Amino acid sequence: MTEDRSEQLKIHEIFYSLQGESTLSGLPTVFVRLTGCPLRCVWCDTEYAFGGGQWMTYAAILAEVAQHKTPYVCVTGGEPLAQKRVHGLINRLIDADYTVSLETAGALSVSDVHPKVIKIIDLKAPGSGEMMKNDYANLDLVSENDQVKFVIADKEDYQWAVKTLKKYAINQRCQVLFSPVADVLPPRQLAEWILADHLPVRMQIQLHKHLWGDTPGT
């Protein structure tokens, strides 16, 4: 008999930490990391989540989330939208009054994401090797509470990000984040570019890496 997986997801890990990125940076948060991703970004720092993990029911996931006693939950990956049933989990989290953020690569549509979710869409710059996967239709689906992130490896990435920011007037749609690729682009260099060009963006660095390094589950 085939096991019913209608309310199950392949989960790589669930952990409690400080949010290291986005405008929620610094807040104690439960991270629900789904297994799998259709992209292969050159600088990916979560390759360990491409496989492995275990099947968990929505109920089991919510029970583990509740143990950590925080109102903030981040659904991430891998690429969480690659598992279609993630929307069922997100809806359950919203119904339970959690503040939910969703980290997605921007290659898959966010059209079915619950309107109360804070969508954090990572548009891929040339240096990622996956720029052609960007679904720009997602930019018509963001609101002022959502965020579009650019992870930048070099000056070419930066110039592309500025051009894209202006072309789609992204800062008029939602909040915009610029982030340097860790150990590739010095944060100070990105800061100087942003200031020189008077960009309407928020620069961020990965707080969790400054606290715990590259240890998974932190």
- How do the domains of the chain map onto residue ranges? 8-212
With H, G, I as helix, E, B as strand and everything else as coil, classify residue 74: strand
Q: Say if residue 33 carries a ligand binding annotation.
A: yes
Residue with tokens 């202006």: 166
Q: Judging by DSSP bridges, how do beta strands 118-123 and 72-76 pair with one another?
A: unpaired
With H, G, I as helix, E, B as strand and everything else as coil, classify residue 50: coil
Q: Say if residue 78 carries a ligand binding annotation.
A: yes
Q: Say if residue 41 carries a ligand binding annotation.
A: yes
Q: Which of 41-45, 99-103, 193-197 is the least confident region?
A: 41-45
Q: Say if residue 43 carries a ligand binding annotation.
A: yes
Q: Say if residue 174 carries a ligand binding annotation.
A: no
103-129 pLDDT, tens digit each: 999 899 999 999 999 999 999 999 999
Q: Say if residue 46 carries a ligand binding annotation.
A: yes
Task: Return mean pLDDT, the chain.
Answer: 93
The pTM for the full model equals 0.93
Q: Say if residue 76 carries a ligand binding annotation.
A: yes
Q: Which residue has the higher pLDDT, 217 or 103?
A: 103
Would you state the CATH architecture of domain 8-212? Alpha-Beta Barrel (3.20)
Please tell me the distance from the alpha carbon of residue 69 to that of residue 30, in angstroms, as a whole number.
Answer: 9
Q: Say if residue 44 carries a ligand binding annotation.
A: yes
Q: Say if residue 37 carries a ligand binding annotation.
A: yes
